[in-house]
Chain A
């Protein structure tokens, strides 16, 4: 066994740095000592307190509904856009890529502020529909990038064969194109769901009285570190890990990972 290199040591330290704070949050969620100064024995009290809190429950429900709607709409936008992009001319494609990239990179505060003004201007009440509209702006951009990356690897041979065999456009899409895109659709759906569930800034501007879970937690976090907040945070972390494992299990770790990495990198490179 050769001596670990400097690079290996740095990598190990960075991984510890990335994971330790999250682990501390999860551990503190079980900490019996209310002030969190020291370890006061394990307790499930904070969890039961958090999950019996009606405010937390209703906020969680709002977030789940918004995330589900976002996932459906984002896919409905991204799948056709990705299919369109492979046939579009270079200029039209550049417009799609450019607007997609802008939706991801522009600081969220700016986009959210603009949407807030728009809904105010037309006197549209803030609530669930405005939250969804705001989330889809950036979640559909991520979905488009993931799907475009997948579409780029496909040839049109199978679809042409289906056409030659007399399948109409819808049937071709359902029976040939969609199954080919399935891994990307799953990754995109899980990413969109997670990002929507996680969003604070857009929701803070556009939620009105409809409080999402992150907006609720954000309000609590601004002022205190408390065991209850740790419990909610630990719950959220477990939920996101479940969606991640789900995508890994459905696709195999390798495909899922390379899709997320690829999506991010191509987002920046376009």
Chain B
């Protein structure tokens, strides 16, 4: 650092280098922001525009406008079923992931060295394995006689189990990262002060793991609400979730304004949930 200052003080070249560096630096973010603007933000804006238009039933062309017709359609009973099911399944699966994932993450965080590494790899390998294969693996398992011989397939339970199975590593990893950071001496001093195992967990471990809990719940809860692959495979096309209803509008019925309204509603609802959860989680989540 000091040598840099010296050289800079010595001549014009380093000053020019600095200036150019700043200019160059601004350009560095261009690919990222450009790609995001064109292929992410613009499509979302277009979704909003379409959602306010309407479809001409005879010619099947989209008419632009400012109508909320598609939005009122979202809340018709026909689709409310799928919406309610998506909410229940994703909330249920998120809670199940949290309840099952927490002890696992805690156990891994207590291990040291090689043993901890092996356990972490064992959690990451299924996460790295194809999502499609994992979902399909559930179909395989549920087809066996001792698990109902396929009777459980095409039910909401199968979908819930599929979400739980596929998203569990996504809960365990952030929980582990948060629990790993807890200073063991805090646990020990709580014990020295006479706190029992449960009280230590409730008063010390869980509050300190809160950022991980929130991160895990967002990573599991938000994407699973819009899940499309799992219900398609484990629900056999009979038990629909929100994602399937959205996809149907674009891939088969061609009612783009309605599909767009569904997408925008989901996006808005999830944004509100994430903001509320993070606000409730306090500032420390913004690590």
Contacts and interface: CB of A to CB of B under 8 A. Distances in A.
B133 interface: yes
Nearest to B26: A84
Contacts of A99: 33, 36, 40-41
B141 A36 contact: no
B63 to A, nearest CB: 14
B103 A7 contact: yes
Contact of A137 (B30, B40, B177): B40
B232 A218 contact: yes
The range of chain A's interface size is 35 or more
Given A257-B124, A262-B177, A25 B28 contact: no
Interface of A: 5-8, 10-11, 14-15, 17-22, 24-25, 28, 36, 76-78, 80-81, 83-85, 87-88, 92, 95-96, 99, 102-103, 105-111, 113-118, 121, 133-134, 136-137, 140, 144, 157, 160-161, 163-164, 169, 194, 197-198, 200-201, 204-205, 214, 217-218, 221-222, 225, 229-230, 233, 236-237, 240-241, 243-244, 248, 253-254, 257, 260-262, 264-270
Sorted from nearest, which 7 A-B pairs have the closest CB atoms?
A107-B226, A114-B43, A268-B215, A21-B137, A81-B32, A265-B177, A84-B28
Given A114-B43, A204-B247, A268-B214, 6 more contacts: A7-B103, A84-B29, A110-B44, A218-B229, A257-B117, A264-B174
Interface of B: 1, 3-4, 7, 14, 17, 20-21, 24-33, 35-36, 39-44, 46-47, 50, 100-101, 103-104, 106-108, 110, 117, 119-126, 128-141, 143, 165, 168-170, 173-174, 176-178, 211-212, 214-216, 218-219, 222-223, 225-229, 232-233, 236-237, 242-243, 246-247, 250-251, 256, 259-260, 263, 266-267, 270, 274, 285-287
